[in-house]
Amino acid sequence: MIAGELKSTIDRVWDAFWSGGISNPLEVIEQITYLLFIRRLDDLQKLAEKKASFTGGVIEDPTFLPGQSHLRWSRFRDDDAETMYRVVSREVFPFLQQLGQQIGGDNSTYSEHMRDARFTIPTPALLSKVVDMIDTIPLENRDTNGDLYEYLLSKIASAGVNGQFRTPRHIIELMVAMTAPTPTDEICDPACGTAGFLVAASEHVRKTHPDALTDATQRRHFHRSMFHGYDFDSTMLRIGSMNMLLHGVESPDIRYRDSLSEGAAADTAKYSLILANPPFAGSLDYESTSKDLQRVIKTKKTEMLFLNLLKPGGRAVVIVPDGALFGSSTAHKKLRTMLVEEQKLDAVVKLPSGVFKPYAGVSTAILFFTRTDSGGTDDVWFYDVRGGGFSLDDKRNPVEANDLPDVLQRWGNRTTTERDRARTDQSFCVPKADIVAQGYDLSLNRYKEIEYDEIEHRAPLDIIADIEKLEAKIAQGMAELKAMLS
């Protein structure tokens, strides 16, 4: 997490936008994203120029051509406010839009999303003030860059349309740690939003496989073909792309796409790991939905429909609303039956209902499953998360109650000691036969047993006798009081 002077600088940038008339958090982050990207382009070219000067070579595919030096961050940041505003609004942003038409190069993915960049900073004074503050932010360190952007994203305090809301970082990190991505994985978030899952997966690989980036083949895979994110919100795509860039992933595949549409059929059985928090309020358009999906099940619900993207042996972890676990609709029943009978359902982790506040109060669970196309479900592991380290209200203050480390530890023992746990415990395993007997209901409360403490009560006649004695004393006292008053 960022702190101290850097945090204060970001807060000042944020406050400057709000006082300058831009109050939509997504618009603020979008405008900051554009400015960070413009600065990033200049920094990359300066590095290339330095390298060329040292080696005596030439810069291959320079971003800024001769005659475009006035478009560079290091140049216009020194202009007066009026000149800077004119250059950025009339030349730099059109330059970004044209950049999206370029093919190849280190920044092609981000450039593509910048084609629709809209400059909405209203005044020269605000632009000059924001540029001055952003110019003081150190962007050389990957960890600092990532924390900086995460802090910006934490300021999104309202749900989006179609049930979109940001997954809390500690929940993302738990899901990633439980699936343990490896350098050979090909990872997809089919509803990526700000790319939080992909960022966490990249950080996990760096931390647990430090040698992954020393091999040229693996390094190219990490930067160019390991991470895939899809969304149909162009603003989120720009924000997500910058998030990945600032976390040190050079060219992730983050693009505009409805992951359940016919246009996504090319990705069938492509990925070895899916991490997703699909929009719960979303629904499918039958006209554009993949025919493969329609053959599997006829439903408008978006939850749990990403199975087709997994390759055989691939694993998925998906956040679903509680209703998907016990819903009585034909679609929900068939989806649960398919996961248990045709695939390998590994676990159901129930989350407390306030974990997504302030975005939403919906009660949710995390499903873990593996694509086998031949069954394999044996025992399904259940865990009842009661606390995640933060209060379950809109304030989200840190608290001591935190089950997440215990979830991760017990997850590692789910095929051994966890099978011996009683169903009165916080986690336990349920045999497939019991789930089938319950009509494929996957709600934890269906299988959890509540242990009641035995309490011995006094005999009713003894209690009545005590009441009679008490009433006799009250009557005696009333009689004495009457005598005193008369």
- Which pLDDT score, from 0 to 100, does residue 104 have? 39
Strands 364-370 and 310-321: antiparallel
Nearest-5° angle of CA 259, CA 383, CA 343? 45
Helix, strand or coil for residue 389?
strand
Rounded CA separation 145/43 (Å): 14
Rounded CA separation 355/387 (Å): 9
CB atoms closer than 10 angstroms to residue 80: 9
pTM of the model: 0.81
198, 209 Cβ separation under 8 angstroms? no
- Which pLDDT score, from 0 to 100, does residue 434 have? 97
Rounded CA separation 254/124 (Å): 32
- Which pLDDT score, from 0 to 100, does residue 415 have? 92
Q: What is the chain's alpha carbon radius of gyration, rounded to the nearest angstrom?
A: 29
Rounded CA separation 256/299 (Å): 23
Half-sphere exposure of 78 (CA within 13 A, CB side): 5
- Which pLDDT score, from 0 to 100, does residue 433 have? 97
Helix, strand or coil for residue 380?
strand
Half-sphere exposure of 111 (CA within 13 A, CB side): 17
- Which pLDDT score, from 0 to 100, does residue 236 have? 84
Nearest-5° angle of CA 159, CA 236, CA 351? 45
Compute mean pLDDT per 10 residues along the chain, 486 residues long, and list them: 77 89 87 89 89 83 88 95 96 82 50 78 94 87 77 65 64 96 96 91 94 90 94 84 85 78 68 89 42 48 69 94 88 90 96 76 90 94 92 78 95 95 96 96 94 83 92 93 89
Tokens of 19: 């006082």
Q: Which domains occur in the chain, in start order?
A: 4-145 (1.20.1260.30), 157-446 (3.40.50.150)
Amino acid code (one letter) for 76:
F
Listing DSSP states for 17-44 in one string gives: HHHTT---HHHHHHHHHHHHHHHHHHHH
Rounded CA separation 367/151 (Å): 28
Helix, strand, coil tally for the chain in percent (to 5): 50, 15, 35
Rounded CA separation 129/165 (Å): 31
- Which pLDDT score, from 0 to 100, does residue 440 have? 96
Rounded CA separation 261/70 (Å): 43
Q: What is the longest distance spanned by two Cα atoms in the chain? A: 119
Per the DSSP assignment, residues forming a β-bridge with 390 are 398
- Which pLDDT score, from 0 to 100, does residue 288 have? 41
